[in-house]
Homo-oligomer: A and B are copies of this chain.
């Protein structure tokens, strides 16, 4: 029974690692589509979001199957509930990559991000990518220290988000309201991506240390 549980848990963990990799790839490609007005890349992200959704369903099915067959208690049960939380965060991160891709597509062939904002979005995307990599790592090999780094990455994201508004609200903003609206929504997509990465990380820390996770943010 115990060994069977371990094997099942291993399968669920692998699905979560696959989700993290899929989400990372999606956000990288969405950013590429955004910054280079690459229509094909944007379409690929949108098409492949269904694969992340499928992985989410597989995690849920596996967890339900495992709960029904093995009726785990205590820390094993906690691991199962945590897997559901992490999967939900990753699924949502995939949606946010999809939203970035859709924004790129809506403005195509014009770039959705004007030159003045490129450096901020490049940094936001790099931060998001670092966070997606860390989530993948802590899911593959639990590491509370690495998971805790996500908080600092999130601070970086929040700083970038503030600088974005600084540029948008500067007296010399030349692009008008439409571009400001796109930039506001894009900024929110990257920032929410980071929030979900932090949440997922906190759930993993909870699993490792027993510390109370937040009610989500």
Interface residues of A (CB under 8 A from B): 53-54, 56-57, 60, 63-64, 67-68, 71, 73-74, 77-78, 81, 84, 88, 91-92, 95, 165, 168-169, 173, 176-178, 180-181, 184-185, 188, 215-217
Residue in B53, B178, B215 whose beta carbon sits within 8 Å of that of A91 in the complex = B215
Prevailing SS type, chain A contact patch: helix
The answer on a CB contact under 8 Å between B68 and A73 is yes
Q: Which residues of the partner chain B approach A63 to less than 8 Å between Cβ atoms?
A: 81
Could you say how many copies of this chain the assembly holds? 2
- Chain B nearest CB, measured from A55 CB (Å): 9
Residue in B53, B60, B165, B180 whose beta carbon sits within 8 Å of that of A81 in the complex = B60
Known contacts A71-B71, A184-B185; A81 and B57 CB within 8 A of each other: no
A181 to B168, CA, bound (A): 9
